[in-house]
Amino acid sequence: MTPSLNHVAIIMDGNGRWAKKQNQERTFGHFHGVEKVREISMAANDEGIKVLTLYAFSTENWKRPLQEVEYLMQLPAMFFSKYLKELMEKNIRIETIGDLAPFPDNTKKVLMNAIEETSHNTGMILVFAMNYGGRTEIVEAAKKYQSAVMNGSMKDPLTEINFEQFLMTKDYPPVDLCIRTSGEQRLSNFLLWQLAYSELVFTMTAWPELSVEEFRDLLKVGLSRERRFGGLV
């Protein structure tokens, strides 16, 4: 077993392109992407990862065609109807980061229900970034700091350390490794603050095609780099 990483983040890219390559609709790629979320989450749990954060829906994704967005909105319900039982058995806790307000009521209900049902689980935390944007998160954190100063609950000057208390990831360990699938080498507004010192690993493989074996290899690459450069940067 690979020695464990505390916090791994993944940009699950390439679903639409993977589908188009086989003359299928983009939604076909999203459907297979959901299956892969289950497979990789279980593998991460087996590897002893404490927190796995998945970029499921960015603030930019609203610009996609309406019917694609409508399809995506149904995926959390599909995911939990198939896998909530297994998540409970594996003691996995579900959480989200991002602003859930713009999601349809039913999607919100499904998410809140899964978060509530798994809230007493003590194993791996599976965090879905939903309508998440890194710059928005930092601006919102600055606003929270400002309110805390105004209401008197914050008396200390702002530092990098206490600023983290206003981020949506405040309860999670630092991100050790961020993986992006499907060839692009960009952060695309994902976890901007949190990835400042993280290892970044990229693979050409599209998300629906990422195997557990390759995932484990990517973890090893991240871990070996962390070991080599840890504390020296």
Query: In the chain, which ranges are E strands?
Result: 7-11, 51-58, 93-97, 125-132, 177-180, 199-202
Asked if residue 133 binds ligand V0D (CB under 6 A), the reply is no
Asked if residue 83 binds ligand V0D (CB under 6 A), the reply is no
Give me the least distance between CB of 115 and ligand V0D, in Å please: 8
Give me the least distance between CB of 152 and ligand V0D, in Å please: 36
Asked if residue 56 binds ligand V0D (CB under 6 A), the reply is yes
Asked if residue 207 binds ligand V0D (CB under 6 A), the reply is yes
Run of H or E including 32? helix 26-46
Closest CA to 54 of 16, 14, 10, 87: 10
Catalytic residue check, 13: yes
Of the CA atoms within 13 Å of residue 158, those in its CB half-sphere come to 12
Tokens of 114: 């899964």
User: Per CB under 6 A, which region of 1-9, 26-34, 151-159, 166-174 contacts ligand V0D?
Assistant: 26-34
Q: Which residue has the tokens 């349809």?
A: 104
Q: 9, 49, 124, 128: which one contacts ligand V0D (CB under 6 A)?
A: 128
Q: 52, 75, 124, 125: which one contacts ligand V0D (CB under 6 A)?
A: 75
Asked if residue 222 binds ligand V0D (CB under 6 A), the reply is no
> How far is it, in rounded angstroms, from Cα 43 to Cα 54?
14
Residues 6+ apart with CB under 8 A from 161: none
User: Per CB under 6 A, which region of 32-40, 135-143, 169-177, 181-189 contacts ligand V0D?
Assistant: 32-40
> Which of 116, 139 has the CB closer to ligand V0D?
116
Asked if residue 57 binds ligand V0D (CB under 6 A), the reply is yes
Catalytic residue check, 131: no
Residue 93 pairs in a beta bridge with 125
Give me the least distance between CB of 12 and ligand V0D, in Å please: 4
For 204, list phi and psi in degrees, rounded to 5: -70, -20
Closest CA to 8 of 218, 225, 230, 224: 218
Closest residue to ligand V0D, Cβ-based?
33
183 by DSSP, 3-state: which? coil
Known catalytic residues are 13, 61
Q: Which residues bind ligand V0D (CB under 6 A)?
A: 12, 15, 30, 33-34, 37, 56-57, 72-73, 75-76, 79, 94, 111, 114, 128, 130, 207
